[in-house]
Amino acid sequence: MPRNFSLKKSPLAPINEPKLMPVQGLNLYTFSAGLYSKNRDDIAIFVFPKNSSVAEVFTKSSIRSFTLDWNEKILKNKKIHALFVNSGNANTFTGNHGKQSIRSIVNQIKKTYLINDNNIFVASTGVIGEKFPISQVLKTITKPQMTKEWMNSARAIMTTDTFPKGVSVTSMIEGKRITITGISKGSGMIEPNMATMLGFIFIDADFGSEILNKLLKENISYSFNSISVDGEESTNDTVILASTRAIKFKKPIKNVNDKRIIDFKKKLKKVFMKLSELIVRDGEGATKLIEINVLNARNEKDANTFAKSIANSPLVKTAIHGSDPNWGRIIMALGKTYININIKKLKVYFGKYLVIKNGTAHSKVDDKIISKYLGKDNIKITVDLGLGIKSSRILTCDLSKQYIDINASYKT
Amino acid sequence: MPRNFSLKKSPLAPINEPKLMPVQGLNLYTFSAGLYSKNRDDIAIFVFPKNSSVAEVFTKSSIRSFTLDWNEKILKNKKIHALFVNSGNANTFTGNHGKQSIRSIVNQIKKTYLINDNNIFVASTGVIGEKFPISQVLKTITKPQMTKEWMNSARAIMTTDTFPKGVSVTSMIEGKRITITGISKGSGMIEPNMATMLGFIFIDADFGSEILNKLLKENISYSFNSISVDGEESTNDTVILASTRAIKFKKPIKNVNDKRIIDFKKKLKKVFMKLSELIVRDGEGATKLIEINVLNARNEKDANTFAKSIANSPLVKTAIHGSDPNWGRIIMALGKTYININIKKLKVYFGKYLVIKNGTAHSKVDDKIISKYLGKDNIKITVDLGLGIKSSRILTCDLSKQYIDINASYKT
């Protein structure tokens, strides 16, 4: 059983908890199955109308949770009827017992919520390789406890998170108000291609799963796949975009290029960006949000590799933690990609301050000013390679002693 | 100017300082040019007899120190007459001034030590991108201070190292005693393919540079290229194997397969292994030495990728730091390579304790026993993939709060 953290809320957490708006047709349930030693909610169930649509992306890890095998199978139906999420246990590397547990959960949900199909998605997060506490879970979910408070669901899916994460926006389509409400979790094991990270975005517009799939793929690369806390990638990462299809249109929307959804797409992007940013803001031990922009690379792959190398460099992250204007570590992180760089063309900025130019320190750079800038809790590093036109943006955070504290005793 | 660290000696340091033996024909000089705020030696010069032989390998980083460009040029002569090493400043990203500084150092050494060729190798280590303190350096090295104490040289090349690193062994060839003495430095920015790491191995056997080159390449992969502290790779990493050729043989040795050097090769390997292990033992903030063995991979590349992924995982390193038997993180580190694994065949051991078997936790595994084992300062992790016959071994260390302390304020 994971230890309870009495961690202080991240200093980068939003000051006020957001107000989350209900998505038409969706019912929320939260439970406490006692999966943590402290009393807290640890299961969230979302029940959709029949024939709700869904799209999902998950970790590329070659060892992944059994839940993802199950979801992949279900995904072929392109429909979602319920979503089950538990924290406290990842149901990964749990053998046949883990697989059977998923089947038992699905059967119990069908019984309790009177669902007559298998379109039930399952997401688990928590410790890897511990026996899945199936009897506790089954006993608990037989007594449905409906909630109207979306933040309760956001809280139930937390593991080492120090604050619940959610965003709501609305958009008008054909004069009808569409709600986009998303929740996410994650604070460690976070890297591009996702993390111990779950993101669930719910809408009520009548979109089929093909449109959802395109919208998800479009948004994921700039959001959940462009964040990093520690360069780790988990076995359970999942982002789901699902719709209750409660709000119908005169003429069905069958194409992502439909002009009626221009504003909706902008709003949806905002939700993806915000949900993923909140995860970095809750990075284990994070005290500073760091935005890395790599500009003018030869190609997108290079741009990503450079940005990722900086974002995952413990030396860069500790230097920024200590407001140390040690830009040499950016150079080190660029160099260790082995990708060719023209140092004569390379420019590096901390915020608006140019620190590297013409293959050496910019003559006007003043360590004291840079150090003061690095004292802020929102840092921008810009690398202009001057080699091409491709760019990459990654959000990350600094590396502090608290990361060690949290992770040196997670299981015990 | 780098801050002086009053760091406590690493708990993994050897209890006694090793006794280093002189290499025939080699003269040692050490200096204090005031490159650190505290008074300490910061320059070492090694003067060889004319026509001494040399082989060198250096960082693959695409942004590297100017010193390496210089050395690469000199290396074509296959001869070494002097080796200059300074700590405190990496002479990387230092523009034309940095390049000119190398030329000035070489000229000054030629004058002071009456050397009439350019076969002078230069190695710099310390902060990247700070103006190279050439006038201080030149002023200092004009007054040669010979030393007989090899450990003085080992001390002069330290940066954040908490102890000087050296090994000496001897071997008989044709009844003559050959000495192998090596020194190394490095504690952070350490990863396979080397690091802020310098290694200098000196011998006095009459071997030409071709043999040295083969011996160096042979030994580097299992030693300096198989260690990792933080997954960082520096712009200055260098390992040099050089011989004064003072001890001649009846019949010249021209082949690494010459039976007369079988024992010598064993001893040389020992020196490479020990020098690189000492660097991990001085890993910034290290409290535990971790040996990772990946067995029975499909191919060597896969084996290395798996071993490296575990060695560089901050979550694995913090878990071991906290003696937390969280083997799920080994699974995570294996999975995030995206390389196919047969989880039914996968076995993972902590020391002699089997923790994973048949796709789940080994039924007999007892977290308390594993936790007690992880409390030792010498940890072995073995991953048996059961997929082929290739293996990889990497030495690394745990990740502690002290790593953050050291690196959050290196420059300031």
Supply the DSSP string of A272-318, one letter for each residue.
HHHHHHHHHHT-TT---EEEEEEEEESSHHHHHHHHHHHHT-HHHHH
pLDDT tens digits for A163-213?
999 999 999 999 999 999 999 998 766 544 444 689 999 999 999 999 999
Which residue in chain A has the smallest CA separation from B188? A315
Q: Check: pTM over 0.90? Answer yes or no.
A: no
Report residue A249 CA to chain centroid gap.
31
Catalytic residues of B: 196
pLDDT for residue A354: 95
CB-CB: which of B128, B358, B404 is closest to A328? B128
Whether A22 has a pLDDT exceeding 60, the answer reads yes
Q: What is the mean pLDDT of chain A?
A: 90
pLDDT tens digits for B190-215?
544 444 689 999 999 999 999 999 99
Spatial distance between the Cα atoms of B134 and A97, rounded to a whole number of angstroms: 67
User: CB-based contact (8 Å) between A363 and chain B?
Assistant: no
pLDDT for residue A193: 42
Pairing of strands B238-247, B198-205: parallel
User: CB-based contact (8 Å) between B318 and chain A?
Assistant: yes
Residues 6+ apart with CB under 8 A from B362: B354, B355, B356
CB-CB: which of B324, B335, B408 is closest to A63? B335
Distance from A322 to chain B by nearest Cα, in Å? Answer: 4
* Beta strands in A162-321, from DSSP E residues, in sequence order: 165-173, 176-185, 190-191, 194-195, 198-205, 227-228, 238-247, 289-297
Dihedral angle sign, alpha carbons of residues B154, B160, B163, B169: negative
Pairing of strands B27-31, A238-247: unpaired
Average pLDDT for A72-85? 94
pLDDT for residue A70: 93
pLDDT tens digits for B370-404?
999 999 999 999 999 999 999 999 999 998 888 88
Q: What is the DSSP string of B283-330?
A: -TT---EEEEEEEEESSHHHHHHHHHHHHT-HHHHHHHHTT---THHH
pLDDT for residue A194: 40
**Domain spans, chain B:** 27-281, 289-407
Quick check: B341 and A408 CB within 8 A? no
pLDDT for residue B306: 95
Quick check: B232 and A97 CB within 8 A? no
Residue A190 phi/psi, 5-degree rounding, is: -120, 125
Whether B82 has a pLDDT exceeding 90, the answer reads yes
Q: Read off the DSSP letter of residue A21.
A: P
Average pLDDT for B178-198? 75
pLDDT for residue B2: 56
Torsion of CA B185, B187, B193, B198, to 10 degrees: -10
pLDDT tens digits for A347-393?
999 999 999 888 888 877 788 999 999 999 999 999 999 999 999 99
What do you get for the CA distance between the two ends of chain B, in Å? 8
Quick check: A189 and B359 CB within 8 A? no
Which residue in chain B has the smallest CA separation from A2? B326
Whether B225 has a pLDDT exceeding 60, the answer reads yes
Active site residue A196: yes
CATH topology of domain A27-281: L-amino peptidase D-ALA esterase/amidase (3.60.70)
Whether A273 has a pLDDT exceeding 80, the answer reads yes
pLDDT for residue A323: 93
Whether B411 has a pLDDT exceeding 60, the answer reads no
Spatial distance between the Cα atoms of A328 and B174, rounded to a whole number of angstroms: 49
* Interface residue of A60, A61, A370, A400 to substitute, partner B, most B CBs within 10 Å: A61
pLDDT for residue B235: 65
Higher pLDDT, B361 or A281: A281
pLDDT band at B134 (very low <50, low <70, confident <90, very high): very high
CB-CB: which of B95, B341, B405 is closest to A359? B95
pLDDT for residue B160: 83
pLDDT for residue A232: 63
pLDDT tens digits for B244-270?
999 999 999 999 999 999 999 999 999
User: CB-based contact (8 Å) between A130 and chain B?
Assistant: yes
User: CB-based contact (8 Å) between A327 and chain B?
Assistant: yes
pLDDT band at B63 (very low <50, low <70, confident <90, very high): confident
Distance from A45 to chain B by nearest Cα, in Å? Answer: 26
Average pLDDT for A75-97? 92
Which residue, A243, A239, A266, is CA-closest to A253? Answer: A243
The residue whose two tokens read 């900025």 is A349
pLDDT for residue B246: 97
Average pLDDT for A251-269? 96
Contact B93, A359 (CB under 8 A): yes
User: CB-based contact (8 Å) between B361 and chain A?
Assistant: yes
pLDDT for residue A190: 53
The correct CATH number of B289-407 out of 3.30.420.40, 2.60.40.420, 3.10.20.340, 3.50.70.10 is: 3.10.20.340
Average pLDDT for A240-255? 96
